[in-house]
Amino acid sequence: MGVGGAGLDQPGRRMGAAFAIAWGVGALGLAVFASIPEPPSGTVRGKRLPPWGEIRRHPAFFHYLAAAGVWNFSVFLAGPFFNVHLVRNLGADARTVGLLSMVSALTALIGQWVFGRWSDRIGAARGMWRAGMFIPLLPWAWLLVRSPWHVIPINVLSGFLWAGFELCNLNTLLLLSPTEIRPRYAALYNLVVGISSAFGAAIGGWIAMAWGFYPLFALSGFGRAMAIGVYRWKVLRHLAEEDPRGQRVQERTGRSSSPPGEEMDR
């Protein structure tokens, strides 16, 4: 990202070289990904997506789905416009944007390691809560930014928290979805995420044009806080009531999220 930003900041051949390098690395990654063997899938009968009645019989997943919709709507309400604000109002160039993005990428490596250990110790659902409870602070912190370099501490925290949140979010989705029809539940989750993200970005653009970026960042933080509150008081509570010792994790993912001989910490 830092190299790409430096290339885009230069006219002519350097800009073309930056796009060529990005295309080449992407093509190489796609080729490597395509070589991964795919395990055979079982035969699943019935509808492609879970019916509404079945979703309502799983209250933890139902509230998880609702929280995911509000969360992604709020994230994409402001997410596409941080860099626009950075360039238009704070005077950052492409090189600065690339370097600031590199900060997030580097701290994400630490976040993956830290939250990976926490997820094994306390469970993915609790790990997701611990990361998500601080993420609403990120757009609010942008209200205090007056220089491009003020973004550095925000991106340090952002890379760390988002890496942990996404890691635990994936494992939580596996935990909440029935093993035999997990692809359907994952498809429904991605459908909700895609629709809410699209509407969030569209409405965010309208708000930015009408009232500017600062109200947008404030609303995004409130929406994220609301979503993570629903997750904390609905999803985690249902998980604790249904199976406080973590057998549900072991049944659906093939292993317990707690170390051997230790209870799942709820």
Q: How many CB atoms lie within 10 A of CB 219?
A: 18
Do residues 224 and 131 both lie within one domain?
yes
Cβ-based neighbour number of residue 44 at 10 Å: 12
Q: Distance of CA 70 to CAs 173, 225, 266, Å?
A: 16, 10, 24
Residues 89-125 have pLDDT tens digits of 999 999 999 999 999 999 999 999 999 998 899 899 9
* pLDDT category of residue 84 using cuts at 50, 70 and 90: very high
**Do 118 and 208 lie in a common domain?**
yes
CA distance 5 to 95: 4
Residue 261 lies in a domain: no
In a domain, 140, yes or no: yes
Q: Give yes or no for a contact between 101 and 155, defined as CB atoms under 8 angstroms apart.
A: yes
Residue 29 near residue 168, CB atoms below 8 Å: no
pLDDT at 50: 65
One domain, residues 21 and 58? no
Q: What is the mean pLDDT of residues 162-167?
A: 96
Q: What is the CATH number of the domain that holds 151?
A: 1.20.1250.20
- Note whether 185 and 140 are same-domain residues: yes
Within-domain flag for 170: yes
Residue 147 falls in which region: left (phi positive, over 0), alpha (psi -120 to 50) or beta:
beta
Residues 122, 212 within the same domain: yes
SS (H, E, C) 67-79: HHHHHHHHHHHHH
Please tell me whether residues 32 and 112 are part of one structural domain. no
Query: 5 and 117 in one domain?
Result: no
Contacts of 11 (CB under 8 A, 6+ apart): none
Is residue 86 located within the same domain as residue 180? yes
Based on the fold, state whether residues 6 and 121 are members of the same structural domain: no
User: 139 and 57, same structural domain?
Assistant: yes
Provide the residue range defining the domain that includes 21: 1-40
At 178 the pLDDT is 85
Residues 132 and 61 in one domain: yes
The candidate with the shortest Cα–Cα distance to 60, out of 197, 232, 261, 251, is 232
User: What percentage of the chain exceeds 70 in pLDDT?
Assistant: 73
Q: Are 125 and 228 in contact (CB under 8 A)?
A: no
- The answer to whether residue 17 sits within a structural domain is yes
Following DSSP, what letter does each residue of 174-234 receive, concatenated? HHHS-GGGHHHHHHHHHHHHHHHHHHHHHHHHHHHHHH-HHHHHHHHHHHHHHHHHHIIII
The tens digit of pLDDT for each residue in 25-72 reads 767 766 666 667 665 555 555 456 666 667 777 889 999 999 999 999
Give just the sign of the alpha carbon dihedral 215, 216, 218, 219.
positive
Classify residue 235: in a domain, yes or no: yes
pLDDT of residue 176 exceeding 80, the answer is yes
- Whether residues 174 and 65 fall in one domain: yes
Residue 258 in domain: no
| Per-residue DSSP letter, 40 | P
Mean pLDDT across the chain, nearest whole number? 82
**DSSP character at residue 143:** G
- Cβ(158)–Cβ(79) under 8 Å? no
The answer as to whether 161 is a domain residue is yes
Domain count, the chain: 2
On whether residue 2 sits in a domain, the answer given is: yes
